[in-house]
Each structure stands twice: as C-alpha cells, then as structure tokens.
Chain A
Amino acid sequence: MKKTIAQFQVPYLQVLDETGKIDENVMTPLSSKQIKELFELMVLTRVFDDIALRMNREGRLGTYAPMIGEEASIVGTGYAMEKNDWLFPSFRENTTMFLRGVPFEKLLLYWRGDERGNNFPANAKSLPVYVPVSTQMPHAVGFAWAAKMKKEKYATVVIFGDGATSKGDFYESMNFAGIFHIPIVFVCFNNQYAISLPRSSQTNAKTLAQKAIAAGLEYFIQVDGNDVFAVHSAVSAALKFAKAHGPAFVECFTYRRSHHTTADDWTRYRQLKEVEAWQKKDPIDRLRKYMQSKKIWTKAYENKVVAKARTTVGNAVKKSEAMPEPDNKDIFKFMFKEPTPDLQRQSKELDE
C-alpha cells in the first residue's frame, strides 16, 4: 500500500503592493491614526539609522547593524505586540525594542560599547540585544513557558534572521515549544543575507516558514516583509494564536539594503542592480503612496515627521553622550548577587 499520510501548504500574505495598492480582502482594518503611526515609526527607524551611521563614521558609535529596507518588519512586529508581551530581539531591531519601552538613548549607549545601555526602565518588555545567532530562541521559549506555568496571559516574540534557521537552536526551540504548547511567536526576518551568504546558499528549503511544519507548529506563514500591513496583521494573528493554542511562526520576506554591519562591505558579495531592484520595493515609499491615495499624506506632513524624528533621536544622542564615564568597578558589580571572595580580591587590583 502506498498513500499520502500528510500534506502541508505554506500560506503567503501581501496586503500592500509595491505600487501602494492594497488588497481589501486581506486588509485588517486600521484607523488613519494607526496608519500614520506606522509611517512615522518607519521614518523614525530610518532617521535613527542615518544618525547612527553618521556617528559611526565620526567615531562616536561602535559597530552598528543598519536597518534600512527592513523597516516594515521591524515596525510591524513591534506594533502588533500587546502591552504585556515580551520581546527577545536579535541585533537589528532598534525600533521594535523602542516599542517595547527601551529608550533610544539606552540603545545608543549600548552601540557605543557601554553595558549601562542594557539597564532598561523597569516597565520595558524587552531583553537586551542578542549578538550570537539563534541562541536567544530557547530563552524566549523558556520565558514564555514560565509565563504559562504562572498562568500569566502574555506571549513572547523572538526575532531572528534567515541564517538562524540553519542552526540547531532554531529547530530545537520550535520543537520544544510545540510539545509544551508554549505561547511564543517565532518571527524570522528573512533579509536574504547572513553577512555575505545569500538565502539560496543558506538552505535548500523553498521557504523558511516551512521549517515550522517539521517541528509540529500549527500556525506558519510567509509574508511580504516590506509590507507593514501584512507584517502587522500576521504577527497580530500569530500572537492571538500563541496565547490560545501555542507556538506560531511568521517569516517576513524582506531585504537588507545596507551592510551586515558597519564592519562589512556588501559590494564584495552582491551586485548593485540587486540592491536597486529592492529599493523599488521600499516599505516607506509604498506606504506613502497608499497614504497619498487615501489623502492622509502631504509633503508638509512628512517634513514634520522627519523633523520630529530627528529631534527625538538627536535628544537621545545628547543624553547618551552626556553620560559620565562608567565606574571601572562596574566590571565586578553584577557577576553574582553577592560578590564572591575571589572577585572582591580582584576588584581591589583596580585600586593598586
């Protein structure tokens, strides 16, 4: 006997196309105010990038991972999260973290190489930046699992890139979450590159979303990651699913238009015309077109939005740069709850 014992299909969602037109059938209703907020947050993201990159060139900021091109995924995910949801970020989601209550001056402090940037306000619902790839995924699973054990009602979102989906922690985490029906949403920002390695060389799988199927996840989708409506809608639905049933997976199909980090040079591994092609799919441009058609955008409005974003980030820069130098004893301060005798001895060496 030979028969088919299981069949799967990977859904795809695009609401807002490159020309700024929406598919009314799949559009989640959003008010003009909400649409403007999404636009303003994406502009803020780009302004943050501009300023951070300029600071890097001037030696005022360390290695930095630019966000340009991925604003819809970055903002759409954060905007979909509810008040008590928790975020486990990767390292290219400054605005997602900002939406969870992490001030920009803290993020800038971190990128300036100062751990005090990780000392978030008490109400922030985000972990600090995670640099190693995929290793934050099981933490997010455990964190969400603890919430379930304590009967707390929030979900946890973990963000990672296409490269992470080749790693063991990625699969182990989804498999683990599936078994225990853990309220977590795995959000993959598939930006087509892991430093220099293109998505096509990362995995032979047709989509990254399908990797969730093998782990037994029951909610998985690929969305146009440059379409903020699609990202917002899919992550919102995934969060709802996670809270009611268990783990969900959203693959945001997007593109990293700049270097991996400021220490990288993308001209070594890809052609200009590829980057230019993605420029035409810009997440901000297409939302602007849509807003124009809805008559909720004017040039004056955008000028105001940009000016406000520059002030917001500019103030954060001032705050982060006004921080006094850290105390060298901070090296030992948070190793253990109570300092151990060996560390007390070593700490004194700094006084000699």
Chain B
Amino acid sequence: MMAVLDMVQALNQALKLEMQRDKNVVVLGEDVGADGGVFRVTDGLQKEFGALRCIDTPLAESALIGASIGLAMNGIKPVLEAQFNGFSIPMLDQLVNHASRIRWRTRGQRSCPLVLRIPVGGKIRALEHHSDSPETYFAHTPGLKVVIPSNPYDAKGLLISAIRDSDPVIFLEPLSLYRAIKQEVPNKPYTVEIGKASVMREGSEVTLISYGAMVHECLKAAEMLDGKVSCEVIDLRTLKPLDIEAVSASVEKTGRAIVVHEAQRYCGVAAEVAAQIVENNFLNLKAPIQRVAGFDAVLPMPKLEKYYLPNVDKITKAINKAMSY
C-alpha cells in the first residue's frame, strides 16, 4: 500500500511507526506535543502516545539535548527536535563534548543512540536564525552521523534507520522541501541505509554532487542542459560517513565534479568532497572541481537571500565552465 505524501507527512509517519514498534522511543522538544511541532512533523503523536512519550519540554536547548543524552545512556530512545536550526547551536556543547564521545570514553559500556532532528536551509522567507545550514559543525565532530534527505521516500526510510541506529544521528530536514514535493511512499516501515548516496540522474560528462534542497536545483540545471551536456546528479543523503565510493565511481566516468550546497563555502562539505575526489580521482579529472555554495558572509534575510544561495543559474555557469577546459 502506498500513499502520496509530502516530507512532513512522511517524517510524521516514520515517527509514528517507530513509536508503535518500540515503547522506548520517545519524542521530545519545544512545542512538539499539543502544537505538533512548529512545522507539524510531530502532529498527532501526543494524542496517540500520550504526554509521557511525546513530551513538551521547557525552552532550554542545552537541557533538552543533555537530558536526551542521559535518556539514551539509560535505555530510552530519544528523538528530539531542535525547533529551528539557530536553536541547534546551543546544543553544540553537549554534542561535541558528550553525545559524540559517550561510547568512546566509556569504552563501549554506554552508548548514546539519540536522534536530533533539525530543520535547515533557506528559501522559505523565514526570520533570522531560521534559515542557516549548520551541517558542517556536526559533520566535523567525530562520533556523530549526519543525514539529510531530499525527498519524502528517503526522509521516511532514513529517519527509521536513524531511530534504529546504535549511535547518535543528526537528522537534517530541508525546510524548503517540507511541503514542496509529494511522492508515493509505502505505508509500511522500511529503511534507507545510512552512509549510502543515491544517483538521482545518470550522465556521462559532469557529476553534480549535492544534498537536501540543492539536489533539486542540480536536477533542474541538468534537465535544462539536456542534449547539450550530460550531467549525473548524486544525492549524498548522508554527509557523515560520506559515500565516497559512489562519488568516485561517478567522477571516474565523467572526469568533472561540481559540489553544491547552501552552507557557506569555507570548510564546508564541498571542501571535504573535493579533497577526497582529488585523493581518489586525480588522474581522471578533466577540469578543476568547483564548489557552488553559500558565500562566507552571514546568510541574509529574505530580501537578499536569493543572491546568496546556489541556484540553477549558478550551477549552469559552473557546468559550462567545467566543460570549457
């Protein structure tokens, strides 16, 4: 049985199915209960599972993640929500100093299998501190897995995988995709493996590597150039651990790579992907690897946001440049 769902509905279904499967799964965060979360991802969960399993917490991000670490260390599976990406930054102390190293420093005696959901990215005309892309902070931290879906099917399968994982997973949800795409999604539970990229479009001349909302900008650019340049589009889906095999296999074929993301360029995921391509595919390369990313400036509010973020035009220019070598 399938249903046509958007990403919010697919995520909601994943949470519901996992809470039905395992009574130790609890959802917690600010306004996740009666309100169903500010983006409605947790809608109806408190009604079905009660206030002891879908828990409204006080407005205190450090205690929210810190208490979740304690829950996870003691046999509960917390799936917590950072209300907005800017509110995940106070959680970094707990993530970097603790969640990521519980298993390591207790020599495997304790673990911290929590899932932290964070809405990320721009293009929804939101307030300041609501549209940033903080993935690099998490991906840079040893001990965390970082996942980001680009469509409802992957969103559900990856979230179920994240909940079943034995270690902490940062689950990034692209805000601009919450309601933008509908897709047939199986009603039953299923998993999408963490650590595996997906080839969204096959091509032979240029590899576009992206994740989250920017996957769709890459696909649009590839379609626009259809018949002129043959573009392959890879959706990383997991930022850490990185599926470098999938990227390398594609670049071996195309010889050209462009990495696209909303986050600022410096030390961004694109920098890591580019470095690993050079390490693996130096002799395959026919053009310099390019990054189409946010600027190393503060993400502006909606008036200027479109100039900052990657788009089809910027990606097309990069593709043409790659072909000009």
Contacts and interface: CB of A to CB of B under 8 A. Distances in A.
A341 B73 CA distance: 25
A145 B74 CA distance: 9
Contact of A135 (B60, B66, B143): B66
B216 interface: no
Interface in B223-258: 240-242, 244-245
Contact of A138 (B26, B62, B76): B62
Contacts of B324: none
Interface stretch (B5-13, B98-106, B206-214, B260-268): B98-106
A179 B28 CA distance: 14
B195 interface: yes
B74 A146 contact: yes
A176 B167 contact: no
B136 interface: no
A176 B60 contact: yes
B167 A139 contact: no
A143 B73 CA distance: 7
Nearest to B63: A172
Given A145-B67, A172-B62, A334-B104, A138 B94 contact: yes
Interface stretch (A49-57, A92-100, A112-120, A263-271): A112-120
Given A138-B94, A169-B63, A175-B60, A145 B103 contact: no
A192 interface: no
A68 interface: no
B69 interface: yes
A175 B195 CA distance: 38
B103 A169 contact: no
A145 B70 contact: yes
Contacts of A343: 241
A2 interface: no
Contact of B70 (A143, A168, A336, A340): A143
Contacts of A141: 63, 66-67, 70
Contact of B58 (A116, A118, A175): A175
A333 B105 CA distance: 11
Contact of A139 (B58, B70, B105): B70
A147 interface: yes
Which interface residue of A147, A150, A179, A334 has the most chain B CB atoms within 10 A? A334
A142 interface: yes
Interface in A299-352: 333-338, 340-343
B116 to A, nearest CB: 13
Contacts of A340: 145, 195, 241
B70 A120 contact: no
Given A141-B67, A169-B66, A336-B166, A150 B143 contact: no
A342 B62 CA distance: 30
B62 A169 contact: yes
B74 A142 contact: yes
Contacts of A173: 63, 66-67
B107 A335 contact: no
A29 interface: no
B184 interface: no
A334 B66 contact: no
Nearest to B113: A337
A20 interface: no
Contact of B73 (A118, A139, A336): A139
B107 to A, nearest CB: 4
Contacts of B26: 149
Which interface residue of A119, A169, A172, A342 has the most chain B CB atoms within 10 A? A172
Nearest to A345: B244
Contacts of B68: 142
A59 interface: no
Interface string B87-122: 000000110011000011111111100000000000
B75 interface: yes
A139 B69 contact: yes
A142 B73 contact: yes
Given A135-B93, A172-B62, A335 B103 contact: yes
B108 A334 contact: yes
Contacts of B106: 118-120, 127-128, 334
B103 A337 contact: yes
A340 B245 CA distance: 13
B63 A138 contact: yes
B165 to A, nearest CB: 8
Contacts of B73: 139, 142-143, 146
13 contacts: A118-B107, A135-B97, A135-B98, A138-B94, A139-B70, A141-B63, A143-B73, A146-B75, A172-B66, A176-B58, A334-B103, A336-B103, A340-B241
The 8 A-B pairs of least Cβ separation, nearest first, read A142-B70, A138-B66, A146-B74, A172-B63, A142-B67, A337-B166, A143-B70, A119-B107
Interface of B: 26, 52, 57-58, 60, 62-63, 65-76, 78, 93-94, 97-98, 103-111, 142-143, 145, 166-167, 195, 240-242, 244-245
Given A135-B66, A142-B66, 19 more contacts: A115-B105, A119-B109, A136-B98, A137-B66, A138-B67, A142-B74, A143-B74, A146-B73, A147-B74, A149-B76, A150-B74, A150-B75, A176-B57, A334-B108, A336-B103, A336-B145, A337-B103, A341-B195, A341-B245
